């Protein structure tokens, strides 16, 4: 596996490839549906997974759409040397279909320049206009 060049980015977007979120389903049937706006995350954890795969396929538009307007940055930058490899959900608190807010702790694994790394974060989500959005995260 190589990373960073244009062809691997196109591969990441492939609808038939396994989704980066780790569900085991094809991207097109999993987070791809959320990224295309055909489905909405029912839980904070599902939104978290879809945002991880949005980083993996570099879908800036989805990342901004799923970010609370109060904390949303102007744009999302992607490091071409960095490839997101695996998401591990450590714990989820609230964030269910009937909740208004939720917390998801996760470990996002990546490879950069031949080194493996992990981002350990506790993210906060709220329901905004009926849809789950990311508010902020605290890295551990």
Task: Rule CB under 5 A: say whether 30 interacts with Zn ion.
Answer: yes
Mark the segment that binds Zn ion (CB under 5 A) among 3-11, 35-43, 53-61, 129-137.
53-61
Distance in Å from the first CA to the final CA of the chain: 29
Q: Which two tokens stand for residue 45?
A: 């954890």
Q: Which residue in the set 19, 48, 56, 108 belongs to the binding site for Zn ion (CB under 5 A)?
A: 19
**Binding segment toward Zn ion, per CB under 5 A, in 24-32, 94-102, 104-112, 115-123:** 24-32
Q: Contact, 108 vs 52, CB < 8 A?
A: yes
Among 8, 10, 15, 21, binds Zn ion (CB under 5 A): 21
Interhelix angle 6-13/44-57, nearest 10 degrees: 150
| Residue 48 touching Zn ion (CB under 5 A) | no
**What's the token pair of residue 100?**
């208004």
Stretch that binds Zn ion, among 16-24, 80-88, 108-116, 120-128 (CB under 5 A): 16-24
Q: Which is nearer to Zn ion, 37 or 100 (CB)?
A: 37
At closest approach, how far in Å is the CB of 67 from Zn ion?
A: 18
Q: How many residues of this chain interact with Zn ion, rule: CB under 5 A?
A: 6
If binding is defined by CB under 5 A, does position 31 make contact with Zn ion?
yes
Residue given tokens 């960095």 in the structure block: 82
- Rounded to whole angstroms, what are the CA distances from 57 to 3, 33, 34, 67, 128? 12, 13, 13, 17, 24
Whose CA is closest to 82, among 121, 109, 60?
Answer: 109
Contact residues for Zn ion (CB under 5 A)?
19, 21, 23, 30-31, 53
């Amino acid at each position: 596996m190589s990373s960073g060049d244009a062809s691997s980015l196109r591969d990441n977007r492939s609808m038939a490839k396994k989704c980066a979120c780790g569900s085991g389903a094809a991207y097109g049937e999993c987070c791809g549906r959320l990224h295309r706006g055909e489905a909405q995350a029912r839980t904070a954890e599902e939104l978290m997974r879809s945002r991880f795969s949005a980083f993996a396929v570099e879908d800036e538009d989805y990342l901004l759409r799923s970010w609370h307007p109060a904390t949303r940055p102007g744009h999302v930058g992607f490091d071409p040397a960095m490839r997101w490899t695996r998401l591990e959900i450590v714990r989820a608190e609230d964030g269910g279909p009937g909740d208004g807010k939720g917390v998801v702790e996760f470990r996002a694994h990546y490879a950069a320049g031949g080194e493996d790394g992990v981002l350990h974060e506790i993210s906060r989500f709220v329901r905004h206009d009926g849809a789950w959005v990311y508010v902020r995260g605290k890295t551990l």
